[in-house]
């Protein structure tokens, strides 16, 4: 049995694995949990992040408007399933007006570190880069310096200092629908200057694991376990009809998380259901957050479906680690 290192979360959303289910991840029976029109002006609500907050949950949601502009919006929930999302995007304050200028914001992640919730997202600054901010209450948001030069996407923090550094994964990219992409780890002492960049892992060439042959990118905040950091990530293949986004998992060294201990050759979640295959961008499953219960090893995963709605799925730390060991990427 593998153990999650962290807090108990007995009231997290959960459904048991259905009898006869062959996959290590199973969907919430009432999916999708958030529809297109969750806010007044939204065209789509997807690729969003949630965390335990008070006696319930808070989140930062990607809501593209009906003019198809991308921004991030705070939301709250008692049960992690029914969400009340603000009609007004996050308003940032911060030290430098240059950094506060908004071009576009998308694909947020939220990470509790020490005393506050850090938000990272893909932030337009003459091309996509990683925006960084923090909040204590999901009402007041302080924006810090962008972590990197453009072009970069999928900035995902580790939930504690590792040795002397805070660490963030990211995926250097281009200005468009990037046809390449590997995951790197960068380090900081102060959330302003990032360096000590390390290569973690890349897209898989050849046919050993073709679902992740075009590009990969980190998904939710990694989960600390006694065997390593459990990373859930997305992988992309280029088909005759365009990109298909599936989900995989890996186990990273606890002290040097750019060292990959295990990685599955087989995906754990893929677009199967109509709401994952049909929408504004067909065939996309894109996880950005998990909730985890250290007492039971349960994991609830939030993922964008076809760039249109938000789904919820379940697994456990044992399911994922056993699956990786049974289907290793060689
Ligand atoms: C990526 C990002 C994601 C999106 C995905 C599929 O480049 O834009 O937000 O889910 O493409 O369209």
Beta-carbon contacts of 19 under 8 Å, excluding residues fewer than 6 positions away, are none
213 pLDDT more than 90 = yes
Asked if 171 and 154 touch (Cβ cutoff 8 Å), the reply is yes
* Mean pLDDT in residue range 59-65: 98
* pLDDT at residue 312 is higher than 90: yes
- The torsion angles phi and psi of 141, rounded to 5 degrees, stand at -125, 125
pLDDT at 31: 98
Candidates 244, 245, 243; CA nearest to 234 is: 245
Q: How far apart are CA 48 and CA 286, in angstroms?
A: 9
Q: Return the DSSP state at 1.
A: -
Atom number of ligand 1 nearest to Cα 284: 6
Whole-prediction pTM value?
A: 0.98
Q: What confidence tier does 295 reach under pLDDT thresholds 50, 70, 90?
A: very high
Cβ of 47 less than 6 Å from ligand 1: yes
Please give the pLDDT value at position 183: 98
Length of the chain: 330
Mean pLDDT of 22-32: 98
Report the nearest atom of ligand 1 relative to the CA of 107. 9
Share the mean pLDDT of the chain: 98
Task: Give the rounded percent of residues in the chain with a pLDDT score beyond 70.
Answer: 100
How large is the average pLDDT for residues 209-237? 98
> Distance from first CA to last CA of the chain, Å, rounded?
24
- Residue 97 pLDDT greater than 90, yes or no: yes
Mutate to test the pocket of ligand 1, among 203, 241, 307 (most ligand atoms within 8 A of CB): 307
Mean pLDDT within 85-107: 98
Q: How many alpha carbons lie under 13 Å from residue 316 in its C-beta half-sphere?
A: 15
pLDDT digits (tens, 9 = 90+) for 49-60: 999 999 999 999
Categorize the per-residue pLDDT at 189 as very low, low, confident or very high, splitting at 50, 70 and 90.
very high
Taking the C-alpha atoms of 19, 266, 246 and 176 in order, what is their torsion angle to the nearest 10 degrees?
170
CA of 274 to the centre of ligand 1 (A): 18
Residue whose tokens read 């504690």: 160
Residue 112 has pLDDT above 90, yes or no: yes
Sheet holding 26-27, edge to edge: 26-27, 309-316, 298-305, 285-293
How confident is the model over 262-287, as a mean pLDDT? 98
pLDDT band at 304 (very low <50, low <70, confident <90, very high): very high
Q: What pLDDT digit, counting tens, does each position of 245-274 carry? A: 999 999 999 999 999 999 999 999 999 999
Map tokens 């890996």 to a residue. Answer: 250
Under a CB-based contact definition with an 8 Å cutoff, are residues 329 and 285 in contact? Answer: no
Whether the CB of 106 sits within 6 Å of ligand 1: yes
Query: Going by CA atoms, what residue is nearest to atom 1 of ligand 1?
Result: 177
Q: Is the CB of 75 under 6 A from ligand 1?
A: no
pLDDT higher than threshold 90 for residue 1: no
Ligand 1 pocket check for 304: Cβ under 6 Å? yes
Q: Is residue 281 in contact with ligand 1, taking CB distance under 6 Å?
A: yes
User: Looking at ligand 1, which atom is closest to the CA of residue 307?
Assistant: 10
| Range 220-228 average pLDDT | 98
Q: Is the CB of residue 85 below 6 angstroms from any atom belonging to ligand 1?
A: no
The pLDDT of residue 20 is above 90 = yes
- Statement: residue 206 has pLDDT above 90: no
Q: Is 301 a residue whose pLDDT tops 90?
A: yes
């Amino acid at each position: 049995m593998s153990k999650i290192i962290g807090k108990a979360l007995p009231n997290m959303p959960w459904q048991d694995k259905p009898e006869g289910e062959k996959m290590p991840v199973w969907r919430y029976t009432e999916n999708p949990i958030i529809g297109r029109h969750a806010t007044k002006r939204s065209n789509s609500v997807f690729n969003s992040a949630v965390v335990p907050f008070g006696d319930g949950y808070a989140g930062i949601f990607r809501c593209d408007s009906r003019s198809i502009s991308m921004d991030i919006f705070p939301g709250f929930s008692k049960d992690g399933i029914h969400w009340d999302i603000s009609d007004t995007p996050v308003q940032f304050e911060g030290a430098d007006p240059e950094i506060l200028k908004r071009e576009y914001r998308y694909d947020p992640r939220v990470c509790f570190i020490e005393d506050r919730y850090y938000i990272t997202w893909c932030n337009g600054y003459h091309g996509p880069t990683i925006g960084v901010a923090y909040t204590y209450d999901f009402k007041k948001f302080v924006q810090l310096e962008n972590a990197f030069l453009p072009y970069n996407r999928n900035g995902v923090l580790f939930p504690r200092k590792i040795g002397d550094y805070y660490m963030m994964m990211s995926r250097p990219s281009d200005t468009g629908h990037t046809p390449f992409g590997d995951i790197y780890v960068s380090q900081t002492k102060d959330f302003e200057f990032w360096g000590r960049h390390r290569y973690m892992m890349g897209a898989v060439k050849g046919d050993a694991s073709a679902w992740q042959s075009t590009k990969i990118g980190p998904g939710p905040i990694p989960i600390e376990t006694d065997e390593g950091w459990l990373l859930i990530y997305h992988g992309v293949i280029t088909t005759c009809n365009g990109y298909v986004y599936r989900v995989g998992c890996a186990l990273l060294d606890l002290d040097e998380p750019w060292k990959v201990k295990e990685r599955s050759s087989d995906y754990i979640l893929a677009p199967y259901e109509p709401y994952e295959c049909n929408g504004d961008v067909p065939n996309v499953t894109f996880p950005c957050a998990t909730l985890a219960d250290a007492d039971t090893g349960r994991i609830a995963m939030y993922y964008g479906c076809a760039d249109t709605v938000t789904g919820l799925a379940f697994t456990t730390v044992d399911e994922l680690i056993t699956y990786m060991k049974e289907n290793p990427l060689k």
